[in-house]
Amino acid sequence: MNAPLYAVIGALLFVMALRALFLSPHLLHKLIAGNIAASGVFLTFIGQAGVTDGAVDPVPQALVLTGIVISVSITAFALSVLRRLHECHGHAHLEASRPRKRQ
């Protein structure tokens, strides 16, 4: 009943996050956009999972749960790397992270 709605909202979340992922130079914005994109994929996947014989298929639920655990782990690691980058360079922008040419 609500499965198409979940799939459409998940796809919209993914597209909006992908736009932010490509256009924002700030690494924290990219990390947040990646998490939102992952949430959109999870929502779409659950929205497309069907009910067969009166029971919900457990495989998509298990895959989404595994994806959430992996997403949280990668986010924690990326935040620690981002914090270290900010401590070393004083910023978290991609343009400013490029090595300067020596003259």
pTM for this one?
Answer: 0.80
What are the pLDDT digits (tens) for 26-84? 888 999 999 999 999 999 988 888 767 777 788 888 999 999 999 999 999 999 999 98
Within a domain: 102: no
**Whether pLDDT at 102 is above 70:** no
Within a domain: 41: yes
Tally of structural domains, the chain: 1
Which residues are registered as beta bridge partners of 93?
Answer: 26
Within a domain: 85: yes
Return all residues near 42 (Cβ < 8 A) that are at least 6 apart.
10, 64, 67, 68
Q: Name the nearest CA neighbour of 38 among 62, 68, 4, 59.
A: 68
Per-residue DSSP letter, 55: E
Within a domain: 103: no
Domain containing 13 equals: 3-97
Within a domain: 8: yes
